[in-house]
Amino acid sequence: MAAGNIIGRKDEEEHLLWRLSHDEGQFIAVYGRRGTGKTFFVEELLGERIDLTVTGIPGGSRKDELHNFSRELSARSGQKFPFTRSWMDAFRQLRSFIETRKEQESIIVFLDELQWMDTPKSRFLTMLGHFWNSYGNWVRNFRLIIASSDPGWMIRKVFGDPGELYGRIVCRLWLRPFTLREAEKFLLMRGFRMDRSETLLAHMVTGGVPYFLTMLDPKESLAENTERLFFSPDAPLCAECESVLSSLSAVSEGSPGRRILELLAQNDRGLRIEEITKALKPEPEDIIQDALQGLEESGLTRVYGSFRKRKHGAVHCLSDSSLLFCLRFVRGCAGTPPRSRSDAGERRTWMNAAFANSCLRHMNEIREAAGISRILVSICVWQPEGRPVLVFDRGDRAVSICEIEYSESPLSAAECLPHLQRLMEQFRAETRTKKALKPVMIAPYGIDGITDGWEVQCVTLDDLFREVSLY
């Protein structure tokens, strides 16, 4: 079975269907931040094959979650399951439900937004693990699918559980925001007729989050959409970004994680641990380390090594461009009229930062365009003059140094090439590397007037839309 309305997710779809075909119990996890289409993916792919869906109630009490569980069981089975006071009893009810369907080819139970069911002192995860180990795992045609919009919670509480759930998940599917190519297909399916420069801008303001993209109206221009979604009195996408943050345990209001996130939104080059520690004093370093790990696990940040300083020189960068747009540009332009916003220097600053963010999310596309997709590389970030430069430390004794420059027209070779030459010289002087240096310019429309005498590779906007074999 395949679902024609699913954009991208090909590998995830194939893996899920392969797991479901096994003649033994299967425990499957689907996770990703709010709005990435986890519920749609599961329901669109499996449809009526799902025997039971229970969705956690945001902020619900243990009583709320248990009543909801029994209520859904009763509705799907036609039986009357009484409300229970414990998850042990609730999973006994689930066992009774499964027993009535043991003759089916498969029994699929989908527990969505699992993190909300795990209320304080409920012992939900303990009882879930006990249910699976004592019963579910031994029912050959039983498939249990769990989903969460809090990746950090899933990684720490489920995958990292040293007890009942340890090693029980046989399939982990992390649904991330769309790539540029996937966003292009999605917008086309929804009736948009954008060129790739407009698609890039739409991707940068929405972060490629499918739900955010659905809020764009094809009858409006991109500027009109942006005004309505981010700068109107109700500003639905700003509100949704705040909802995303509220749904993630790593960035609860006032937490070190939230403070770090807001700090990173104001720093294009990313920050090292010592810079973050200094900014958050007197917060203890172990608390900051834990917060940084939580941000990375939640998919909000990425960590890159520095050349020759893989660990101690690690650079933390914000990876979500929709949050970058809200936390930086929207806040920076609050109260200004549309014309002022379009001409503001802050807009240019954001465009440069957001384009660099997009490039860092399309590493495989860049590597393929640069001709190094089959070469083993270590990905680093170099920070000359307080800006990020992407570095591929290659296994063939060469280093590709990638300058990232947003522009709305081709760059001038007369200005660009001497700049790249100085960049190579500075890198050589700072790192003292003996490896060959290969300049790469990543710019939407390449370099105008470049000649054969310069060995510089250009990665353009069309390259970022490539379909690559691995992502």
Domains and CATH numbers, the chain: 10-174 (3.40.50.300), 180-244+325-355 (no CATH), 248-319 (1.10.10.10), 362-464 (3.40.1350)
> Would the pLDDT of 347 be above 70?
yes
Interatomic CA distance for residues 285 and 291, integer angstroms: 10
Angle between helices 124-134 and 87-99 (to 10 degrees): 30
Number of H helices, E strands in the chain: 22, 15
In a 10 Å sphere around its CB, with 0-12 CB exposed, 13-18 middle and 19+ buried, how is residue 122 labelled? middle
pLDDT tens for each residue of 206-225: 999 999 999 999 999 998 99
Predicted pLDDT at 2: 46
Per residue in 396-419, is it b (16+ CB within 10 Å) or e — as a string? eebbbbbbbebeeebbebeebbee
272 forms beta bridges with 315
User: SS3 for 150?
Assistant: coil
> Would the pLDDT of 147 be above 90?
yes
In a 10 Å sphere around its CB, with 0-12 CB exposed, 13-18 middle and 19+ buried, how is residue 453 labelled? exposed
Percent of the chain's residues with pLDDT above 70: 93
In a 10 Å sphere around its CB, with 0-12 CB exposed, 13-18 middle and 19+ buried, how is residue 154 labelled? buried
Predicted pLDDT at 453: 65
- What mean pLDDT value characterizes the chain? 89
Both structure tokens of 6: 């699913």
Interatomic CA distance for residues 186 and 213, integer angstroms: 8
Q: Does the reported pTM lie above 0.85?
A: yes
Predicted pLDDT at 385: 74
How many residues belong to the chain? 471
pLDDT tens for each residue of 69-109: 999 999 999 889 999 999 999 999 999 999 999 889 999 99
Interatomic CA distance for residues 5 and 11, integer angstroms: 15
